Every structure is written in C-alpha cells, then in structure tokens.
A and B are shown apart, each in its own frame.
Chain A
C-alpha cells in the first residue's frame, strides 16, 4: 500500500476513535438542549473540570481515569442536578440572551476557579500503557485511544437504553416532545429537567475523564471545547443522539487529517465551513428532525 494512503488510513482511524469521545461530550450538550431548549454555554468549562478531576484522582491516588470515571460522572450528575434546580430552572422560559448571560457567568466562574486552583500550566496523566498499541492489519492504534473510544461508545449505548427503555427516560422524551402534554398527564417536568441536566453534565464529565487520557489539560481549553461541542451538535442535529455521535466522528476525523497534512487551521476551516453549510441548508442538522414548535 502507498505510504500516504496508509498514513491517511491511520489518521482516519485515530480521528474516529477521538471522535467518539467528542461525540460523548457533544451528547451532553445535545441532550440538555433537546429537552429544555437551553444552550449550555458552560459546556467546555464542564469538560475541563472533568479532565482536572480525573487528573487529580490519578495524581493523588494513582487511580487511572478509566476507574475514576464512574465517580466523576456521579459527581457531575449531582452538580448538574443542583445547578439546574438552583440557577437554570428560573431561566427556562426567559429570553435566550438572558440564558446566554447566565451560563456565560457560570462558565467564567468555572474556568477561573480551575485557573485559581490548578494554575495555568498544562497537566497530563502519564499512564503506564500510554506507549502500548494494538495492531490491526497495517494499522497501529494507541491502546489508550481505543479504550477511551470503547468506553465512550459504551456510555452512549447505555444512554440510548436509558432513553428508550426506562420509565424516566421515556418521561424525559415526552417532556421534550410536548411540554404542556407532559404537564397535563402529571409528569414532574421540573424534576425531569433537573435529571436531564444531570445526565448531560455526567456525559461531559465522563468525556473529560476520557479526554485527559489523550490530551493534557489547561483552563484555556474550555472555550475551544464549548465551540467544538456546538459545531458537533449543530452538524449532527441538536437533540439527536446519533447525530451527536456522527458529528463527533466527522470532527475527529477532520482534526486528525488536518494534523496529517500539517495545518491545524484546516480543521477549523473544515468544521466552521461545515457548520455554515449545515446551518443554511439543513438547520435541523444531518440527522435531526424538523422543529415541531
């Protein structure tokens, strides 16, 4: 096989694996928006907190991110639940610019709390397995990347089961489809919203725990992740679970291929170009449904 094609295949495989983690991150944003129509402008900041927590668990207790992940997701669920109850619920029916400013304030607080506590330097988790790799035919894949992608996919599958098989999951979808109808049949929509925000937060916290295995963390990463999550969910379709995953894969691959071609600007060019095209031609996203309200 031609050298370039092999390198390209290698980059695409790497991108697909990273993209699954991106997909999980974006899924959190998508679930929150799909259900309560609030855009979480603090999403990247939450992601970074997840990365820091996993780093701290490894640094202080030598617990690898894969094992601290459930605890981090649980903490994020609780924090997200409380955040929604305390701050966001009163803003649910407020104009978009007020929601935007509220979450912008939350984002500012989170990012700078990270800066105050952890400092501006980039921190990295040095796993023992970080140089290991799997060989699949001619392709060589980093072990940690494969593991991270696998866990991301597993969590996505569990979420899908939650939303399609459990009572609470179905109730949340009902509240998303028809707010008034959900109230009429006696669903506790406020609690469902808080649970949803908790789930969205848990997704992004888990994604952070996986991401720290792949890249070092600094507080300045946060706005980039927020933008990245926006691009992914808009491209895939806000509120669509498979759309978020597809968007994550697309962005992951474009990033890896841009890295291969040696120009990181290409990735942003591609992702923002794609965003503009999708917004104009298919604003509901590649896999989204048409707006019902």
Chain B
C-alpha cells in the first residue's frame, strides 16, 4: 500500500470516528446504511469477487444468523456476543452444505446461483412454519429507549454506528490480509481459471469451501447486527431473494474483487437511494424511486461494467488495484 493511500485511509477513519458528533440523526442513519452495505458487500465479495462463485442466496446466512442470535436472546436471554458465535456456526454449517453440494457436483455460474437461491427459499419456508422463530408472524425484540447496553446490543443509533463501523473496518482489513495470503492467491487463480488452478496443484475444492465458509460467517454477523438494529425479523424478508440481491449490488457496482469496490458501491447506491426517495416523495408516484434506481443501475453497468472503483482509482493515480 502506498503512503498516499494509507494517509487517505487514516483521514477517512478519523472522519468516520468523529461522524456521530458531526452529523445529525438523519445523516448518521444514512451512514449506518452505507457501512452495513459495505460490510455485507465485502462479505459477499469474498465468495464472488475473490473466488468467483456467484451466490444469489446470501440472505440464507444473514437470515439464519439473525434468527439464531435474536431467538437465543428472545427465548433464553443469551446476549448477542455469545449468540453471534452460535449464529456463525449455523451459517458456516449451512454454507458448507450448499458449497459442498454445489462444488462437489461441479455446478458453476448460473446453476450454482440457482442452487443458492433454492436453499434460501427452502429455509424461508421452514422458518415460515417454525413456531420457535415466530413463524410467518415474525420475531420481535423489545425496544428499550434511553438504554445503552453494549453487552446486549440494546441502545440508540450511535451504539449501532460504532459496532457496524468496527465490523466494516475490520472486514476491510481482513480482506486485505486475505488477498495477500496464499489462500487469496489461490482464490484468484480459481476465479480466473479453475481447471488450470487444479492442474498446477491448487486444492480447488478446499479453497472454494474456505471462501463460502468465511463469507457465510461474516454475512451471519451482518445478520445479527441487522436483527438487533431493526428489532424485528420476518422469514418473508430475511430470506427473500430481494435481500440476497441487495447484498450483491454494492460490490458489483463498486468493482467486483476489489477492496474499495464494496465501499464505493455502498456510498453511491445508498446516496442515490436516499436522493431518489426524496425525489419520489416529492413527485408522489408509486414506484418512481425504484425506476430512477433501475436507470442508475442500468447506466453504471452499461458504461462502467467493471465497476466504479477501478475507474476512480485510476483517476486518483492509485496504480495497483486495491
């Protein structure tokens, strides 16, 4: 990493740490969304951007994680810091099953993506009919106002802001390390040409499994955070294909397989979303927000198919792809 880049990152981090003091409630809520999508996008990026495996069912891991931790808290009073470990275990187990079946039976591309969708949908139906998790009526956590309880993750936006900031920053660092590691190099080799990688002795199946497990674990953490931030969970949304798709947008728009991509993508898409919401409210036409959003996606994928970050990085004179 160049000195210039490190300095830039340091300034960004200081600004982010000071943000709750600088921004109002609305600004902070938008920033929370940006960091959430950057975090969950980075998690998805490990699987698709690094290892080249297209998952359109990541809602499975987020939903499972959220339900496990929220359910443990709701039923037994077990706090989310312990709950998240169980949540991660559950998501990693689910990821291993999906991954092993998909990779073992060598499903690639669209076929693998459909398998991931099928598992997410299957789980959604299961949770719809499971009374422990509240069934289709949903699971609700008690909202406690004026409390800041880090141990049980109960509190206001500032608390959730710092948690998601730590998660996003930590994952950014983790992904940087992963890309430098042997495993990261193996992933890139598999992404570029799995057969060639196999031929030169890369343990393809094991590396792909690592990708899906790490990705599922991080996504489960995002799910836990999400459940405690919003205080409610419904199978209909938690496991929906829409939830899965929204996780893929930031990294694709930002630049697949890059470190900066999910962050830039989250900034751009969340700001556009907020802008279009206010324009939509002004116009008062149902669906107009989504129409603008669709047009923006269309424009970006047509004119910057490799994502925004590689293009911005070049402009900023950052030679190596971050």
What CA separation (Å) do A157 and B128 show in the bound complex? 40
CB-CB < 8 A to A111: which residues of B? 287, 290
Are A227 and B117 within 8 A (Cβ)?
yes
Given contacts A96-B54, A97-B54, A273-B122, contact A279 B111 (CB under 8 A): yes
Binds A, one of B7-15, B58-66, B220-228, B297-305: B297-305
Are A108 and B302 within 8 A (Cβ)?
no
CB-CB < 8 A to B290: which residues of A? 108, 111-112, 115
What CA separation (Å) do A100 and B253 show in the bound complex? 12
Q: Is B285 an interface residue (CB 8 A)?
A: yes
Are B297 and A105 within 8 A (Cβ)?
yes
What CA separation (Å) do A283 and B305 show in the bound complex? 29
For B286, the closest partner residue in chain A by CB is A115
B125, B241, B253: the one within 8 Å of A227 (CB): B241
Q: Is A268 an interface residue (CB 8 A)?
A: yes
Binds A, one of B34-42, B102-110, B195-203: B102-110
Are A109 and B294 within 8 A (Cβ)?
yes
For A277, the closest partner residue in chain B by CB is B118
Per-residue 0/1 for A110-133: is the Cβ within 8 Å of any B Cβ (1 yes, 0 no)? 011111100110000000000000
CB-CB < 8 A to A265: which residues of B? 125, 128-129
CB-CB < 8 A to B23: which residues of A? none
Are B119 and A108 within 8 A (Cβ)?
no
Q: Is A6 an interface residue (CB 8 A)?
A: no
Q: Is A98 an interface residue (CB 8 A)?
A: yes
Are B298 and A275 within 8 A (Cβ)?
no
The distance from the CB of B42 to the nearest CB of chain A, in whole angstroms, is 16
CB-CB < 8 A to B93: which residues of A? none
What CA separation (Å) do A281 and B115 show in the bound complex? 12
Are B245 and A104 within 8 A (Cβ)?
yes
Q: Is A223 an interface residue (CB 8 A)?
A: yes
What CA separation (Å) do A290 and B121 show in the bound complex? 27
Q: Is B291 an interface residue (CB 8 A)?
A: yes
Q: Is B137 an interface residue (CB 8 A)?
A: no
Report how many residues on chain A are interfacial, defined by Cβ distance under 8 Å: 41
Given contacts A97-B252, A109-B298, A113-B291, contact A223 B242 (CB under 8 A): yes
Q: Is B82 an interface residue (CB 8 A)?
A: no
Q: Is B279 an interface residue (CB 8 A)?
A: no
For A90, the closest partner residue in chain B by CB is B302
What CA separation (Å) do A116 and B291 show in the bound complex? 9
What CA separation (Å) do A80 and B197 show in the bound complex? 39
Q: Is B159 an interface residue (CB 8 A)?
A: no
Are A96 and B109 within 8 A (Cβ)?
yes
What CA separation (Å) do A112 and B293 show in the bound complex? 10
The distance from the CB of B121 to the nearest CB of chain A, in whole angstroms, is 5
For A114, the closest partner residue in chain B by CB is B287
Given contacts A98-B305, A111-B290, A268-B125, contact A279 B297 (CB under 8 A): no
CB-CB < 8 A to A268: which residues of B? 121, 125
What CA separation (Å) do A131 and B13 show in the bound complex? 67
What CA separation (Å) do A108 and B300 show in the bound complex? 14
Are B114 and A112 within 8 A (Cβ)?
no
The distance from the CB of A84 to the nearest CB of chain B, in whole angstroms, is 15
What CA separation (Å) do A230 and B117 show in the bound complex? 10
Are A279 and B118 within 8 A (Cβ)?
yes
Are A120 and B122 within 8 A (Cβ)?
no
Are B288 and A116 within 8 A (Cβ)?
yes
Are B287 and A280 within 8 A (Cβ)?
no
The distance from the CB of B48 to the nearest CB of chain A, in whole angstroms, is 7
Q: Is B275 an interface residue (CB 8 A)?
A: no
For A269, the closest partner residue in chain B by CB is B125
Are B118 and A272 within 8 A (Cβ)?
yes
Q: Is A101 an interface residue (CB 8 A)?
A: yes
Are B105 and A280 within 8 A (Cβ)?
yes
CB-CB < 8 A to A105: which residues of B? 294-295, 297-298, 301
Q: Is B256 an interface residue (CB 8 A)?
A: yes
Q: Is A92 an interface residue (CB 8 A)?
A: no
Given contacts A108-B294, A109-B295, contact A275 B286 (CB under 8 A): no
| Listed A/B pairs (7) with beta-carbon separation below 8 Å | A101-B249, A102-B302, A234-B114, A272-B118, A280-B101, A280-B105, A281-B105
Closest 9 A-B residue pairs measured CB to CB?
A108-B294, A115-B287, A112-B287, A105-B297, A112-B290, A109-B294, A105-B298, A116-B287, A275-B118
Given contacts A97-B48, A111-B290, 14 further A-B contacts (CB under 8 A): A87-B302, A96-B109, A97-B248, A100-B54, A102-B302, A104-B297, A105-B301, A115-B290, A268-B125, A272-B118, A272-B121, A279-B118, A280-B115, A283-B107
